[in-house]
Structure 1
Amino acid sequence: MERSTLRVEALLIIMAVFVACNIYTLIPIYEDVGSSISIAPEKVVFAGSVFTFCYAAGLFLFGSLSDLLGRKTIIVFGMGISALATAAVALSAGQWSLYITRGLQGFFLGSFAPAAFAYCYELFEAKKRTLLLALINSGFLAAGILGQIISDFLTEWFGWQIVFYFFSAVYGSLFLVGLSDLPAANLFAKKGFAIAAYFSILKKPQLLMCYGIVFLLLFSFVGYYETLSRFHPGTSGEMLAIRSAGLAGAILSIFTGFFINRYGETKTLFFSLGLGCASILPLLLSSGPFVYLLSSILFVSAISLLLPTIITFIGSSASEDRGKALSLYSFILLTGASLAPLVMMVLSHKESLYLLISVFAIQGIAGYFIGRSTTSKN
């Protein structure tokens, strides 16, 4: 039984990594895709935002559908349809076909996260669930770097189309494995889609503040690596090293449970935000490869602690509406990510860095009110 459970946990983490990889695959290959299908790189940037916006829409819809149809059904068949949509991206021959196929790909990949988060709550007991959620979030963060590395490598050696054929094959394989290995969860409620439930969630002040932080989380993450890609004049080897270094920071999310148990959610939140500011400040003074290397580790460490901490706040505050609250979390998270490339595209290097510091400051203000709300409840 324990071995079977470990297999399920490993499968969910692997799915999380490869689903999230495609949020970031275009970042290092804007120019390659643009020159291949004869459009400006700026229009390829917009294709990334189309993907992320449609991904966010999928997160919003499939969270409720998983209440109705079951978590396993949404996770597994979402993976199968995503395999077809991802292969279609490689066949794009122009601007609009790229937008449409990337949009479809993002929409169906959006089926995974809300169903998987709720699935973890229903299938695993509290201690194991906390660790698994932390590992899944580590996977999402690792994907932010791994997706760029895979995309850059495959494009350099085989062409950008192979990137999407590769991920299509991965999703197809995960569909088959998930179909046979994922057990059905017993405790989902068939409530259907009720828009009133979402408005009810947003009426809770603590959740509203949490969602304010959530919106800025992947906005800052995508914005950071957009800034790196645009303004760091290093070799491809240096860029690979800087991105890879960020993977070390993702490991910190595994220890979220330790930080929360020892210091509480609020202190963990503020420690993460302080770490985020510390990662940006050195870049205002120097933009050398070593500084970016250190900054990448600290930045990803900050985000890797923030994500599971915020999920803990949301999960405990939403109670019986947890499935919908986590679906809304995922939708807002990716809405922020979809705007980041468009905003960063018009900013200078210094302006981008000041914006990132401001983002952490705004999150700190929201965190203060969350902490006050939590204290008053206790």
Structure 2
Amino acid sequence: MMETVAVPNATKRFRYGVITFMLFWCALIVVSGAYVTTPLFGVFEDTFQVSKTMSAWTSSSFSFFYAVGFLLFGPLADRIGRKQIILLGLFSLTLVTIWIGMVSSFGSLIALRGLQGFVAATFAPSALAYAFEIFPKQKLVTTIGFISFGYVTSGIFGQVIADLIYQWANWEMVFLFLGGMYCITFVAVIFLLPNTAREQGKKGVRFYLYHSKLILKQRNFLLTYSITIMLLLTFMGMYTLLGSYLSGEPYNLSGEAILGIRALGIIGMVISPLTGRIVQRIGLLLTLRIGLGMAVLGLFLLGIGSHIVFLVLMSIIYVMGISMIFPAIMMVIGELGGERRALANAFYAFILFIGAMLGPIIAIWLLSIGSYRSTFFILSLLLVIGFVLSMFIQVKSQVQGT
């Protein structure tokens, strides 16, 4: 077993920049697993002869069990250590992801995607608490911004990598490649992330039930979690629609062109690591509200525009807004959580990916009873509700950026 070192000694031995990069990379590569099947829905429909709704479960299965896993691995990280949980997850992800690349039935694919999501849940609940333990407050917001950058970029990165590898080889190779990346990351984490001190004492089920009740009774948490569920719901919903929207009349774009448009979304994501500086200048809650406003604007105009350049610009504005919201929400949770930060973050991650699970299902259902434009409008309306709710959140001590 690796020796546990105190946080001050750990931070002397490891440069903050290296730790920040590793947390960013882990967020990027782990959460990319949630999105790799989004551009492959049509492939699964043809390969396994299933409906569009059924093919969406290759995404929703991951998201559901990913969300459930947070409720287990968040408390478990308190007992055995953040880094140990992250390593357990990366090792398990390596095995499960390679296994997915070898299946031949749709039922096995759905089941293993659920297992993949469950073990992927080891990272996110541990990452925020880990950052709060390792970094001094003046560096914390920048680090959280980079972790969030990894989360939001994974939404594009996962789709683009999956599409590129599929066009080069086949869908099985997507998972074999991803499994290889998890293996490399596992080795890197062993050497590059310092250990932190474990929680003193053993916390049983009664402890977590008691503190869960305290969290879920607080109005600020309820408001923040209500906004959280809308983030990946609209994000997954939007990207589920965008490919088929642009491949049909009147655009008739090729797979390569749609891949390029997905990749352009990364332009909007570069704001995420800069969110710390924005918070420093204008405050945490105002940053959150501006992000929500931009996301509403981009998604609403995406539904009413027609020119392809305009649609691309609106998708970038939407992604830019979402990329501001993620780190802002994480900072709000961190400030509200206090000593219950790890548990509060586990609930945040659980709710976030319940939204991711619902996104493709709701988007496809709305499209079946309406049109692309009405579906984009309804998704933007959800974010309007989130903006209104944000006006009632109060954070006593706002984090300052660097």
Question: Do they fold alike, i.e. is TM over 0.5?
Answer: yes
1:168 maps to amino acid: G
Matched, 1:69 2:80: yes
Matched, 1:184 2:195: yes
Of 250, 253, 263 in structure 2, the residue corresponding to residue 244 of structure 1 is 263
- 1:119-268 equivalence runs, <5 A: 119-186=130-197, 188-189=199-200, 190-193=202-205, 194-233=208-247, 234-268=253-287
User: How far apart are the structure 1 equivalents of 2:126 and 2:263?
Assistant: 29
SS in 2 for 1:24: coil
2:197 maps to amino acid: N
Q: Deviations over 1:268-297 (max 9, x none)?
A: 122112111221233233233212210121
Asked whether the equivalents of residues 14 and 194 of structure 2 are also in contact (C-alpha less than 8 Å), the reply is no
Report deviation, 1:81: 0.5
User: How far apart are the structure 2 equivalents of 1:164 and 1:289?
Assistant: 32
Matched, 1:366 2:389: yes
Identity among equivalent positions (%) equals 31
- 1:272-283 equivalence runs, <5 A: 272-283=291-302
Task: Report the TM-score, using the length of structure 1 for normalisation.
Answer: 0.94
User: How far apart are the structure 2 equivalents of 1:122 and 1:331?
Assistant: 22
User: How far apart are the structure 1 equivalents of 2:381 and 2:325?
Assistant: 16
Asked whether the equivalents of residues 63 and 117 of structure 2 are also in contact (C-alpha less than 8 Å), the reply is yes
Q: Deviations over 1:340-369 (max 9, x none)?
A: 111011222022111122111110121011
User: How far apart are the structure 2 equivalents of 1:287 and 1:26?
Assistant: 27
Alpha-carbon spacing, 1:3–1:316, altered in 2? closer, same or farther (3 Å):
closer
Matched, 1:10 2:29: no
Asked whether the equivalents of residues 65 and 192 of structure 1 are also in contact (C-alpha less than 8 Å), the reply is no
Of 76, 100, 103 in structure 2, the residue corresponding to residue 89 of structure 1 is 100
Asked whether the equivalents of residues 304 and 373 of structure 2 are also in contact (C-alpha less than 8 Å), the reply is no
Tell which deviates more after alignment, 69-78 or 252-261. Answer: 252-261
User: How far apart are the structure 2 equivalents of 1:177 and 1:373?
Assistant: 38
SS in 2 for 1:369: coil
Tell which deviates more after alignment, 182-191 or 119-128. Answer: 182-191
CA RMSD across the alignment: 1.8
Report deviation, 1:40: 3.2
User: How far apart are the structure 2 equivalents of 1:258 and 1:182?
Assistant: 25
Alpha-carbon spacing, 1:69–1:372, altered in 2? closer, same or farther (3 Å):
closer
User: How far apart are the structure 2 equivalents of 1:269 and 1:181?
Assistant: 32
Report deviation, 1:192: 4.5
Correspondence for 1:291: 310
Q: Deviations over 1:122-151 (max 9, x none)?
A: 111112221111111111111100111111
Report deviation, 1:187: 5.4
Report deviation, 1:82: 0.8
Alpha-carbon spacing, 1:129–1:168, altered in 2? closer, same or farther (3 Å):
same
Task: Report the TM-score, using the length of structure 2 for normalisation.
Answer: 0.89
User: How far apart are the structure 1 equivalents of 2:338 and 2:19?
Assistant: 25
Correspondence for 1:270: 289
Alpha-carbon spacing, 1:230–1:192, altered in 2? closer, same or farther (3 Å):
farther
User: How far apart are the structure 2 equivalents of 1:356 and 1:36?
Assistant: 30
SS in 1 for 2:270: helix
Q: Deviations over 1:104-126 (max 9, x none)?
A: 00000111111111111111111
1:357 maps to amino acid: S
Of 313, 323, 328 in structure 1, the residue corresponding to residue 342 of structure 2 is 323
User: How far apart are the structure 2 equivalents of 1:2 and 1:246?
Assistant: 37
User: How far apart are the structure 2 equivalents of 1:350 and 1:243?
Assistant: 19
Of 101, 105, 110 in structure 1, the residue corresponding to residue 112 of structure 2 is 101
Report deviation, 1:310: 1.2
Moved over 6 A (4+): 372-375
Matched, 1:332 2:351: yes
Asked whether the equivalents of residues 232 and 287 of structure 1 are also in contact (C-alpha less than 8 Å), the reply is no
User: How far apart are the structure 2 equivalents of 1:184 and 1:246?
Assistant: 35
Alpha-carbon spacing, 1:353–1:69, altered in 2? closer, same or farther (3 Å):
same
Asked whether the equivalents of residues 238 and 289 of structure 1 are also in contact (C-alpha less than 8 Å), the reply is no
Aligned length: 375
Asked whether the equivalents of residues 90 and 162 of structure 1 are also in contact (C-alpha less than 8 Å), the reply is yes
2:227 maps to amino acid: I
User: How far apart are the structure 2 equivalents of 1:246 and 1:64?
Assistant: 34
Correspondence for 1:352: 375
User: How far apart are the structure 2 equivalents of 1:162 and 1:205?
Assistant: 46
Alpha-carbon spacing, 1:39–1:91, altered in 2? closer, same or farther (3 Å):
farther
Alpha-carbon spacing, 1:55–1:286, altered in 2? closer, same or farther (3 Å):
same
Unaligned runs of 5+ residues in structure 2 are 1-11, 248-252
Report deviation, 1:3: 5.9
Matched, 1:33 2:47: no
Q: Deviations over 1:306-332 (max 9, x none)?
A: 111111111111111001001111110
Alpha-carbon spacing, 1:66–1:88, altered in 2? closer, same or farther (3 Å):
same
User: How far apart are the structure 1 equivalents of 2:178 and 2:229?
Assistant: 27
